[in-house]
Structure 1
Amino acid sequence: MEQIKLGNPAAVGLAGFGMTTFLLQCHNLGWIGTGPVLWLGLFYGGLAQFIAGFLEFKVGNNFGFSAFVSYGAFWMALAAFLIFGTSPEIVKSYPLLKLTTPEVAYFLLAWTIYTGIMFIGSMKANGALAIVFLTLFLGFLGLTIKEFTGSATIGTIAAWDLLLCAFSAWYLMAHIIFADLGINLPVGKAWL
């Protein structure tokens, strides 16, 4: 019986993560509004990445399962948080949904901690994945500090770091896609 070759769900997960991270940083740097970020956060960075995570589960990749399902949920939660927590009409009817700076700071702190754990695991895979998670960890840390302190400078530094994270995720996505075409992009050795 012939074995059916399956696609690698990480290609879609990394693409959705990279694109949504890129657009959010374009917003954080003041280049675009929130509209594209919210819609992409719901569908590509959110839903598509979430589905990719469950496909990683199916192939037995616990790291990819945890990462893609979690960050897919992050994007959907962030988009919903921004839509419902900032809408004057909704907040008037449901004041508990009001978005406040301390809530955003603690939301980001929780993701910083999770990302730190995932960064440790990523160092066992390859250098490219470790760079994605290192820049993501530093970006979350910067955004968390920005929300707790109100420092626009730290927020700008975090946005530039997260642009590097987005491009690193796209590079890793390209590595996966190109490998099927006989093009081998280097990903570097594991750091641990």
Structure 2
Amino acid sequence: MNNIKLGNPAVVGLAGFGMTTLLLQFHNLGWCGLGPVISMGFIFGGLAQLIAGFMEQKTGNNFGFAAFSSYGAFWIGLGIIWVLNSLGVYESSHTDVGFFLVGWTLLTAIFWIGSMFIHQAMFITFTTLLLGFIFLDLGHFGPHVMNIVAAIVLIVCALSAWYMMAAIILNDLAGREILKYGTPLLKGK
């Protein structure tokens, strides 16, 4: 029997998700340019989350596998849209990006339901992510001010993801629960 303790891939996935989400909202609020968002989007939000997702698959965690792999692909896809726009190869309009976001809103709604079976920290993260996507959708098809509302909600989402990352790391290091996750909202099996 193998008694080697393996690291939890969620720490890297949550770190990458939180960092790129935070940086994008800083950009959406006009606090920083797109350069840091694109670079972190490809590497930390994209590649690192994909790797975390693939590692979650090895642990048998379908939710982590699907979520990290999906949002890793989101960041790579969004980065490609920005690069193609910048190079004039294929320019996606504001409406095109809006439809891209609507697709991600619908997928996020599925993860949001799943998060209710995990714990309250996951539910808060996915609730703010779903609301953020909805506000971004509204901002792309309606008043731009909704993008500002989305940025504020998504900053909370990013910090919620980092809270879960911190809980995994600190609880493991301490050998006890320092940061709580909360109980699931729905019971499975």
TM-score above 0.5: yes
Question: Which residue is equivalent to 2:158?
Answer: 166
Alpha-carbon distance in 1 for matches of 2:76, 2:16: 12
Question: After superposition, where does 1:69-108 map in structure 2 within 5 Å?
Answer: 69-84=69-84, 86-87=85-86, 90-91=87-88, 94=89, 97-108=90-101
* Residue matched to 1:53: 53
Equivalent-residue separation in structure 2 for 1:44 and 1:153 (angstroms): 28
Unaligned runs of 5+ in 2: none
Matched, 1:112 2:105: yes
1:107-153 deviations in Å (ceiling 9; x for gaps): 0000000000100000100000000000000000100110011x122
Deviations along 1:19-65, one digit per CA (max 9) or x if unpaired, are 00000000000000000000000000100010000000000000000
TM-score w.r.t. the length of structure 1 is: 0.93
Q: Please give the alpha-carbon distance, in whole angstroms, between the structure 1 residues aligned to 2:98 and 2:114.
A: 25
1:143 counterpart = 2:136: yes
For residues 64 and 98 of structure 1, what CA distance do their matches in structure 2 show?
32
Where has structure 1 moved over 6 Å in runs of 4 or more? none
1:31-46 aligned within 5 A: 31-46=31-46
Q: Normalized against structure 2, the TM-score is what?
A: 0.95
Alpha-carbon distance in structure 2 between the residues aligned to 1:127 and 1:180: 19
Superposed CA offset, 1:77-104 (max 9, x none): 10111111x22xx32xx4xx11101110
Indicate whether 1:127 and 2:106 are aligned: no
Structure 1 position 2, deviation (Å): 4.8
